[in-house]
Amino acid sequence: MPDGLPKDTAQQRTYRAFEALVAGEDAAIDLAQAALLIASIEYPDLDMVASMAQLDALARRVRTVLALPSPDIQSQLPDDVDPLAVIEAMNEVLFAEEGFHGNQEDYANPNNSFLNKVLEDRTGIPITLSLVYIEVGKRVGIQIDGIGLPYHFVVGCRLPEGMIYIDSFARGLLLSERECRERIRQMTQNKIKVHPHWFVPVSHKQFLARMLSNLKRIYLDQEQYERTLVICDFLVMLMPRTAIERRDRGVVHLQLKHYVRALHDLMAYTELAPHASDRYEILHQIKAIRQIIAMMN
């Protein structure tokens, strides 16, 4: 947990809860709970129970379309239920009835990355709409995986005949792998080679890292360094041995004139990445910070 926070603040309690949540087995991480903890920093009055209840209610609606009993009676899908029928029912409830859609008009709005606001406003970016899809699917009884394509995020579901991909940002558009590859080629104007590993489901930690990285980029572009720092804290808690996250947090601390904390993170970066291409630039920054600290004492 980040050093220097006042004792037992709401933010510190949130950090402790997040750190404990992501410390165990990856598959056991509750993505919705983690996402709501992240959102609770921006929305301290967020009712996590109410947000979870919204996901439960959406799943019950899907089960009603499929003429299935509530999860209290039967949590697992019967073997004779076609997964494609479940996807069609989810698309009907989430997109046709509830109107979830991609926020193309205000894509860089941070609210698109907060699960509580996505559930409230029925709009978001690809990864948070994918999160809603994954969580509703889990409650219905079907496994939906996050697929981290470059420049876009979709979800995948394994059918008897193979994987099918669903674009939640495009109101549940169904795609084959070939169609996904073609979309990547179009988005990149054939400038990058398509790699098979892009179609491997992401881990829960990878999912959260991508969501947090989106937020970090948005806040940096807006020069909101206090908010950026909070996201950097989450990323370091999620991936404490990832050098780049320590470097980036150190740079944000420096922007905020937190010289001791900046020094701590940048030194950790040089230890974690001794052969980094920017090593000498960071060492120069460390030297300058030490001089500033010396003049302040």
pLDDT digit string (tens) for 73-112?
A: 777 788 889 999 999 999 999 999 999 999 999 999 999 9
Q: How many whole angstroms separate alpha carbon 109 and alpha carbon 131?
A: 17
What lies within 8 Å, CB to CB, of 45 at 6+ separation is: none
**How many helices (DSSP H) and strands (DSSP E) are in the chain?**
12, 6
Q: What is the mean pLDDT of residues 22-39?
A: 97
Does residue 251 sit in the same domain as residue 160? no
Does residue 287 sit in the same domain as residue 153? no
- Whether residue 8 is predicted with pLDDT greater than 70 in this model: the reply is no
Q: Which two tokens stand for residue 193?
A: 């080679």
Q: How many whole angstroms separate alpha carbon 76 and alpha carbon 296?
A: 63
- The share of the chain scoring above pLDDT 70, in percent, equals 97
Does residue 59 sit in the same domain as residue 150? yes
* Token pair 């903890």 in the structure block, residue: 37
Does residue 59 sit in the same domain as residue 138? yes
Q: What is the mean pLDDT of residues 123-146?
A: 97
Q: What is the mean pLDDT of residues 36-46?
A: 97
Does residue 253 sit in the same domain as residue 125? no
Q: How many whole angstroms separate alpha carbon 50 and alpha carbon 139?
A: 15
* Token pair 């087995």 in the structure block, residue: 25
For residue 174, the tally of other CB atoms under 10 A from its CB is 15
193-234 pLDDT, tens per residue?
878 899 999 999 999 999 999 999 999 999 999 999 999 999
Say if strands 123-124 and 101-102 run parallel, antiparallel, or are unpaired: parallel
Does residue 142 sit in the same domain as residue 31? yes
Q: What is the mean pLDDT of residues 262-287?
A: 97
Does residue 26 sit in the same domain as residue 166? yes
Does residue 162 sit in the same domain as residue 287? no
What pLDDT does residue 2 have? 63
Does residue 245 sit in the same domain as residue 194? no
* Token pair 């709401």 in the structure block, residue: 10
Does residue 164 sit in the same domain as residue 270? no
Q: Which domain covers residue 72, as residue numbers?
A: 10-199
- Whether residue 4 is predicted with pLDDT greater than 60 in this model: the reply is no
Is residue 255 domain-resident?
A: yes
- Whether residue 6 is predicted with pLDDT greater than 60 in this model: the reply is no
Is residue 3 domain-resident?
A: no
Q: Which two tokens stand for residue 165?
A: 């991909």
Residue 168 burial (C-beta neighbours within 10 Å; 0-12, 13-18, 19+): buried
User: Among the three residues 175, 199, 223, which one is the final residue of a domain in this structure?
Assistant: 199
Does residue 120 sit in the same domain as residue 51? yes
Does residue 81 sit in the same domain as residue 174? yes
What pLDDT does residue 77 have? 85
What pLDDT does residue 180 have? 93
153: DSSP letter: -
Domain count, the chain: 2
